[in-house]
Amino acid sequence: MIGRLSLGDVALRLALPDDREAARRMPLPAVQLDCGADPVMDVHPNSYEDAILECTVSNPTSASEVIEVSKVEWDGVNVEMTLSEDEFTLAAGDEETFNVIFTGQTRLPASLTYGFELEAKVTSWNGLPYGQLPDGPWVVNQSYSGDFSIASYGMIELLMSDKTTREMTVAEEVDFTFQFTNKGNDDDKIRVTIANEADLAAAGFSFPTGAFVAEDVPYQGTSSLRTLTVRSPAELTADIRLPVIFQAESTVDPDAPASEITVQLNVVCLLYTSDAADD
Angstrom distance (rounded) from CA 31 to CA 87? 13
Decide if 238 contacts 204 (C-beta within 8 A). no
Element (H, E) at 14: helix 7-14
pLDDT at 131: 76
Element (H, E) at 199: helix 197-202
pLDDT at 101: 98
pLDDT at 270: 80
Q: What angle do CA 212, 235, 172 make, to 5 degrees?
A: 50
Q: State the pTM of this model.
A: 0.79
Nearest CA among 63, 269, 61, 37 for reference residue 167: 269
Q: Which residues contact 25 (CB under 8 A, 6 or more apart)?
A: 62
The DSSP call for residue 202 is H
Nearest CA among 56, 24, 4 for reference residue 126: 24
The residues with which 264 forms a beta bridge, in sequence order, are 243
Q: Which residues contact 262 (CB under 8 A, 6 or more apart)?
A: 163, 243, 244, 245, 246
Nearest CA among 186, 192, 193 for reference residue 252: 186
Residue 133 phi, psi (nearest 5): -80, 140
Decide if 66 contacts 59 (C-beta within 8 A). no
Q: Which amino acid is at 113?
A: T
- Which 3 state secondary structure label does DSSP give 121? strand
- What is the Cα 118 distance to its own chain's centre? 23
pLDDT at 134: 64
- Which 3 state secondary structure label does DSSP give 278? helix
pLDDT at 77: 85
Angstrom distance (rounded) from CA 60 to CA 91? 9
Size of the chain, expressed as the number of residues it contains = 279
Residues of the chain scoring pLDDT < 70: 1-27, 134-139, 271-279
